[in-house]
DNA sequence: CGGCCATTTCAAGAAAACTCGAAACGAGCG
DNA sequence: CGCTCGTTTCGAGTTTTCTTGAAATGGCCG
């Protein structure tokens, strides 16, 4: 991940509704949630939600799937992991090679955001 | 850390100049850098830099120290760790108790951003 | 104490983000 | 095939963020 992409992801999460939205999707797991359910849960008008969903999508943090008339959104754990990795790399004071300024994609950071398989999230 | 604080920190980093600035300070280590050196390094007008520095400071991501006429800024690793922890907790699919919706401050996440003691950063 | 130098604050304008009702779009049911 | 329902797009208004020169502040040297 490079800076521009990280900024996009960071900016996508730096908003009350979108952070709540992403948290909701992370909690919902791989099955995701339809847009309508999210709007109802977060108590946000449909058009506003759509705007935020588009932002998150543009940042690559959510995936979109169709299921009948509904569009199902789910958290993109890979992108979130990439963001965490970027943040970790740019601190790089944890023990890894620190002097590395722009060694490209390292990817050596441990993946914290594993794909949460559905574990009883009935909501 | 709670959502509002995380949003502030996320927003502080979600900006080209500020992300570069924070990266620079992280790399600079505990000794930090004077404002002027940062402005020169990043090629940003003093007033703009001051604005961004204030943003980062408001988010608690940087510390301010005086040294003669210069103000030295350094990265606040603790706050960054808190942010990483918040992000990790809200994913919570890594192995910790996942169903915990708002269990307050967990702090069980491993600190990745340890205070980088000056390790030969001569710049 | 007078001046200088690093930095911040002020003010004003430009650009971007956010909000949300209304209209449009498209899939699927009957 | 027409209708309905879930969702997105559009448009317009409000708010926030970003930028920068100029002025103010405060420490320090002589």
Domains of chain B in sequence order: 3-77 (1.10.10.10)
Q: Among A42-51, A101-110, B19-28, B46-55, name the one with the lowest average pLDDT.
A: A101-110
Q: Is the dihedral of CA A32, A36, A39, A45 positive or negative?
A: positive
Indicate left, alpha or beta for A68 from its phi (over 0: left) and psi (-120 to 50: alpha): left
Q: What is the DSSP letter of B115?
A: -
Sheet containing strand B33-34, edge to edge, reads B33-34, B70-75, B62-67
Band the pLDDT of B54: cuts 50, 70, 90: very high
Q: Is A27 on the interface with B (CB under 8 A)?
A: yes
Name the β-bridge partners of A50. Answer: none
Name the β-bridge partners of A63. Answer: A74
Do B76 and B25 contact (CB within 8 A), yes or no?
no
* Residue found under tokens 């007008």: B45
B-facing residues of A in 80-109 (CB < 8 A) are 80, 84, 87-88, 90-94, 98-99, 101
> What is the per-residue pLDDT across A35-47, written as a single tens digit (0 to 9) for each?
999 999 999 999 9
């Amino acid at each position: 991940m490079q800076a521009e992409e990280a900024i996009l992801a960071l900016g996508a999460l730096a908003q009350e509704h979108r952070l709540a939205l992403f948290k909701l999707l992370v909690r919902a797991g791989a099955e995701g949630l339809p847009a309508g359910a999210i709007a109802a849960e977060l108590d946000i008008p449909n058009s506003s939600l759509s705007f935020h969903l588009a932002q998150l999508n543009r940042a690559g943090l959510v995936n979109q799937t169709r299921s009948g008339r509904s569009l199902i959104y789910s958290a993109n754990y890979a992108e979130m992991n990439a963001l965490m990795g970027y943040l970790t790399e740019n601190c790089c004071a944890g023990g890894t090679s620190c002097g590395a300024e722009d060694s490209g994609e390292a990817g050596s950071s441990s993946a914290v955001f594993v794909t949460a398989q559905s574990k009883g999230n009935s909501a």
